[in-house]
């Protein structure tokens, strides 16, 4: 079974977590795209969605799903999104698609975070996937030096500008045994907008696509 089939299956399974008549939070990436396409089939049954990126907003709108600004919404019953890595405590690395900041903001407002991922994303220790960090452009070199002091190898994702007009630094060579602490340390660096480490807001539900079918885990 290829990775796309697994992504499609978890995206389909996530539709069960969408409550009727409500506004839901929607993530970004190829797995989230499968979810958005599935959501199209039930668009009459939801009020609409808050998107975590311009790309997801365009895809939702293309399916005729009404978009809401997060400022219009006090709480979301559910946020559905993929991940680049997820560990046993449901802490995640996200931001492979450079949408980490809006993903973190939208998921912070959600009662439940449903992570949809193929089996390759489940890891013992986070860090093999380079950790994305969104940075104010002016602060790129300074933030890179500070990240190197934390033990990572920062690499500027050249040519990429986020939806918020910032740049991405991918941090290689990390072995993240204390995700909560690292997230806090990164947040302390002046010029960092957000890190792609989701430890303080981990997933609540993990739908994992495996060759044996979709496995469900709850925190």
Which chain residues interact with ligand 5RP by CB under 6 A?
27-32, 81-84, 94-100, 103
To ligand 5RP, the closest distance from the beta carbon of 115 in angstroms equals 9
53 vs 149, beta carbon nearer ligand 5RP: 53
Tokens of 34: 């499968």
- Cβ nearer to ligand 5RP, comparing 45 with 200: 200
Among residues 121 and 191, whose Cβ is nearest to ligand 5RP?
121
φ/ψ of residue 90, rounded to 5: 70, 15
Concerning whether 103 is annotated as a catalytic residue, the answer is yes
Q: Residue 166 phi/psi, 5° resolution? A: -110, 180
Tokens of 101: 């900041």
Q: Which is nearer to ligand 5RP, 30 or 210 (CB)?
A: 30
- Give the shortest CB-217-to-ligand 5RP separation in angstroms: 17
Closer CB to ligand 5RP, residue 45 or residue 89?
Answer: 89
Report the C-alpha gap between 114 and 126 in whole angstroms.
19
Tell the smallest beta-carbon distance from residue 107 to ligand 5RP (Å).
10
Closest distance between ligand 5RP and the C-beta of residue 163, in Å? 10
Residue of 103, 124, 178, 184 marked active site: 103
Find the shortest distance in angstroms from Cβ 147 to ligand 5RP.
19
What does the DSSP assignment read for the chain?
Answer: --HHHHHHHHHHHHGGG--TTSEEEE--SHHHHHHHHHHHTTGGGS-EEEESSHHHHHHHHHTTPPB--GGG-S-EEEEEE--SEE-TT--EE--TTS-HHHHHHHHHTEEEEEEEEEGGGB-SSBTSSPEEEEE-GGGHHHHHHHHHHTT-EEEE-TT---TTS-EEEEEES--BS-HHHHHHHHHTSTTEEEESEESSS--SEEEEEETTEEEEEE-
Catalytic residues: 103
């Amino acid at each position: 079974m290829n990775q796309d089939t697994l992504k499609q299956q978890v995206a389909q399974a996530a539709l069960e977590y969408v409550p009727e008549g409500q506004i839901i939070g929607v993530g970004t990436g190829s797995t989230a795209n499968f979810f958005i396409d599935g959501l199209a089939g039930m668009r009459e049954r939801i009020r609409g969605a808050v998107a975590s990126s311009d790309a997801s907003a365009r895809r939702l709108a293309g399916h005729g799903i009404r978009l809401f600004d997060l400022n219009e919404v006090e709480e979301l019953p559910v946020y559905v999104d993929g991940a680049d890595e997820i560990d046993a405590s449901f802490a995640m690395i996200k931001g492979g698609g450079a949408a980490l900041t809006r993903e973190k903001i939208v998921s912070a407002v959600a009662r439940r975070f449903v992570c949809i991922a193929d089996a390759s994303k489940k890891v013992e220790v986070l860090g093999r996937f380079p950790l994305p960090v969104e940075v104010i452009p002016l602060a790129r070199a300074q933030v890179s030096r500070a990240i190197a002091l934390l033990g990572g190898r920062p690499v500027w994702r050249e040519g990429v500008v986020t939806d918020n007009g910032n740049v991405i630094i991918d941090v290689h060579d990390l072995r993240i045994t204390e995700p909560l602490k690292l997230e806090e340390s990164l947040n302390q660096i002046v010029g960092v907008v957000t890190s792609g480490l989701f430890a303080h807001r981990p997933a609540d539900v993990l739908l994992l696509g495996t060759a044996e079918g979709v496995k469900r885990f709850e925190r």
